[in-house]
A and B are shown apart, each in its own frame.
Chain A
Amino acid sequence: MSPDRLAVRKTYKLYVNGAFPRSESGRTYEVADAKGAFLANAAWASRKDARDAVVAARGAFAKWSGATAYNRGQVLYRVAEVMEGRHAQFCEEVAAGEGLSSSRARAAVDAAIDRWVWYAGWTDKLGALLGGANPVAGPYFDFSLPEPTGVVAVLAPQRSSLLGLVSVLAPVLTGGNTAVVVTSRARPLPAVTLGEVLATSDVPAGVANLLTGDAAEIGPWLAEHDDVDAIDLTGAPADRAMELERLAAGSIKRVVRPPAEEPDWSADPGLTRLTPFLETKTVWHPIGL
C-alpha cells in the first residue's frame, strides 16, 4: 500500500442466512483493540436478529444434515483452504483484538485453520465410531447411527476470538447441525471475517450464522427459543449460566455447561465437543424369509 493512499475500511456486519445484514435494530457498538484504541463499529445483534438466524438455521438443516458425510467433509476442508488465503488478515485482527504478539497471533490462526482440517476428517468416521450393529437376542437386524441434534445455539468464548470460535463452531457443523453463534462481545472482528470465509466456502446459506453482540443479552432469547435444540454455554457470563440452563430446560434442550475458566483451545479436543450435539437413532427390522 502506498503511504499516501487512504485505506478502504470494512463495515463489520452480521452473517445471517448467507448474507451480511446490519442489525435490524440499527444498533452498533464500538470495538477497541487490546490497548483501547478504536478499531471498528460492530453490528449489535438484537432479539429479532437472533430469531431470524434461528429461522435461517432451521431452514438450512435438512440440506446440511442430509448431505453425505464426504460432502460435508469437503466443505469443511474448503473452509480451511479459504482461511489460509486470508491468513494475514486473520493474524492482524487476532493480534489487535487479543493483544497478542504477531508470532502468538500466527500460532492461533494456524491452529484455527488446522482445526477445520481436523474436523473435516471426522465427518465420515463418526458413524463407524459411534454407531454399529447391536446383537439383540432375537431375529432382528438392529443398528444405531449418530445423527445431528438440529439447530444449535453457541455462545462463543469471550477471550479466544478465532481459535476459540472455530473450536466451538466446527464440531457443531461437523456432526451435521446448523448453528447460531453469538461471538465474543469485545473481540468480534475475526468472527465477521470468518463469516466472509464461510460465505465463500460452499457452506450453504443458513448453516452457520454469526451474531456480533452481547451473549448476556442474546443468550436468554436463544436459550428459551423453542426451535433451538441445543445450546453451548461456553461463552456465557459466569453469573448468567444457571439462568440460561434453566431457560433451556423449557424445551428440553441439550446443554453444554460453561467451563470454570476458558480452556486452552490449543489442546486436542477429542470427541468432547462433537457428542453433545449428536443423537443416536436405532433402527430395528425383522430377519426372516
Chain B
Amino acid sequence: MSTQTPPTHSLFEYAPAPESRSIVDIAPSYGLFVDGEFVDGSGTPLKTVNPATEEVLSEVPTATDADVDRAVRAARRAFTRVWGPMRPADRGKYLFRIARLLQERAREFAVLESLDNGKPIRESRDVDVPLAAAHFFYHAGWADKLDWAGLGPGPRPLGVAGQVIPWNFPLLMLAWKVAPALATGNTVVLKPAETTPLTALLFAEVCRQADLPPGVVNIVTGAGETGRAVVEHEDVDKVAFTGSTEVGRSIARSVAGTRKRLTLELGGKAANIVFDDAPIDQAVEGIVQGIFFNQGHVCCAGSRLLVQESVHEEVIASLQRRIGTLRLGDPLDKNTDIGAINSAEQLARIRELSDIGEAEGANRWQPACELPERGYWFPPTVFTDVSPAHRIARDEVFGPVLSVLTFRTPDEAVAKANNTTYGLSAGIWTEKGSRILAIADRLRAGVVWANTFNKFDPTSPFGGYKQSGYGHEGGRHGLAAYLEGGQ
C-alpha cells in the first residue's frame, strides 16, 4: 500500500438534494396561543428570519405583561378545573396523542425547524423531531405511574409552570419542558426563543388537533422582557429555564424569597478527552459530532478537546482531513452537515471570541470553505496551541469553534477538564474500560459520553453540575422538578 497525501476536500461532488419546503405553510403572521385560541399580542411584533437567507419568514406578536398575565390565568384555570382533577390515565392519553401527531407531522416540523433555526434538515429530521416525539411518548406513560417514581405516595403537581427555552433546539426543548410538566399534572406557559418561535406555534396547532383542553398549554412569544414577565409572574409555581448562565443567575435572583421552584439548564464548556489508546478514527468522528453538531449551538458541545500529547499530531491531522469533507450550506439540503448560524447577534459573538482567540495567541485553522453570500455563516474552526487561560478555553462560544489543549497524564486530563465553572457534559475516548470508569468518576459533569458524544434519550436524565445549572430533564429524575416533595 502506498501512502498518499490525504485529500483536504470532499472526495465526491454532491448534487443538491433539497428537501421541499412546500410541506410547510407559513402564515404571514401568528398570534399568541392562550386558552386554546390564537390571540393578538399587545407588544410590537417581531420578525423571524431564515438565518440561511435572511428572508423574513413571518411575524409573531410580542407578549406584554398583560398578555402573559392572561396566559397564566388561563393556565391556572385549566390546572384547577380540568388538568389537575383529570384521571391520570387520561392525561397520559393526551400526551400519547401529541406524540403521534408529532410523528405524523414530522416532516413538516423538520422543514419548519430548519427554516427558522438554520440547522441541517438531516439533524432536524433525524434528531430534533423524533426525539421530541419520543419525549412525549415516554412521559405519557408516566402520567398514571407517578406513585412509582420514588417520590413518595401520591405526589402532587406544583400548578402552573413558566418555561423559557432557547433557540438551539426549539421544538426539542419545548418537548423537554412541556412533556414532563403535563405528565405530572401541571399546566404551562411557555416562551419560545425570540429568533425561533415557529415550531412552538405549530405545536400549538398540534395541541388543538389533540383536543388538549384549553389553557393546559399556552405559548407566548417575545424577547427577554416576555421571558421576564413569565418568570416573575406571581401566580407561577414553577420556573424552568434553559439558556445562558448569565440569564440563569438573574432568574435565580428573581425567584429568591418566593415559593417558586426552579430548575436551570445553563451553559457548558465540555472537555472531550482523547487518550493515546483511543480508536482514533472513531474519536475523530466523535470530536466532529461533539463540536459541529447543530453548528456548535449546543450547551453540552465538546468545545474543549483534550488530546494526550503523544497522539496530538495524528489526531489533529485526521481531524482536519475529516473537517475538510464537511459540507456547509443550505440547511434544507439533505447533504448538508453544517447549517447557518442562528442569528446575526450570535455570529457576531462567535467572530468576536474567535478573534480574541487569535489575539491571545492560539492558532486558528479553518478548511477551504465557501460561505454563501447571504445569511449568517461561520466555517468549522479549530484552535490549537490553546492555553487553559485563553477566553476560547473558558467562555462558551456556542458556535462551531473547537479549542484544542493537550495533556500528558490522566491526572492532568482530569484537572484540566474540571478547570471550568461549568459542569454539564464531558467525553472520554479510550479502549480501556477501567480507565473510562475511573475518569468518568472524577469528572464533575452531569453527562459523560464515553466513546460516543452528544447522545440524548428521554429515559436518560440530563442536567448539569456547578454553574451549568440544577435539576434534570428526562428519566425518573426529571419528574421530580414538577412534583411536590421532589427536588
Contacts and interface: CB of A to CB of B under 8 A. Distances in A.
Interface of A: 129-130, 132, 134-138, 140, 142, 144, 149-150, 229, 241-243, 245-246, 248-252, 254, 270, 272, 275-276, 279-286
Contact of A280 (B150, B245, B264, B472): B472
Interface in B438-471: 440, 445-452, 455, 457, 459-463, 465-470
A135 B463 CA distance: 18
- Interface SS, A side: mixed
24 contacts: A130-B477, A132-B476, A134-B459, A137-B459, A144-B475, A242-B256, A245-B257, A246-B253, A248-B256, A249-B252, A251-B421, A251-B467, A252-B245, A252-B264, A252-B266, A275-B487, A279-B463, A280-B461, A281-B446, A282-B461, A282-B462, A283-B440, A285-B436, A285-B452
A280 B477 contact: yes
B192 interface: no
Interface residues of B, number: 44
B485 interface: yes
Contacts of A284: 447-450, 452, 455, 460
B457 A136 contact: yes
B187 to A, nearest CB: 24
Given A252-B264, A284-B449, A142 B457 contact: yes
A164 B487 CA distance: 21
Contact of B440 (A149, A245, A281): A281
Nearest to A136: B457
B52 interface: no
A133 to B, nearest CB: 9
A238 to B, nearest CB: 11
Contacts of B421: 251
Given A245-B256, A249-B256, A284-B447, A138 B461 contact: no
Contacts of A254: 470
B253 A252 contact: no
A282 B253 contact: no
A109 to B, nearest CB: 29
A245 B255 CA distance: 9
B459 A276 contact: no
A212 to B, nearest CB: 27
B87 interface: no
Of B134, B256, B472, the most chain A CB neighbours within 10 A belong to: B256
A268 B110 CA distance: 50
Nearest to B470: A254
B249 A252 contact: yes
B85 interface: no
B372 interface: no
B248 interface: yes
A251 B457 CA distance: 28
Given A246-B256, A252-B468, 15 more contacts: A129-B150, A136-B455, A136-B459, A138-B457, A241-B257, A245-B256, A251-B421, A252-B245, A279-B463, A279-B465, A281-B445, A281-B447, A284-B450, A285-B452, A286-B451
B152 interface: yes
B253 A137 contact: no
Contact of B467 (A246, A252, A270): A252
Contact of A137 (B134, B436, B475): B134
A233 B487 CA distance: 16
- The 3 A-B pairs of least Cβ separation, nearest first, read A242-B257, A249-B252, A245-B256
B459 A280 contact: no
Contacts of A245: 252, 256-257
Contacts of A283: 440, 447-450
Contacts of A144: 460-461, 475, 477
Contact of A282 (B152, B250, B460): B460
Contacts of A282: 446-448, 460-462
B139 to A, nearest CB: 14
Contacts of B245: 252
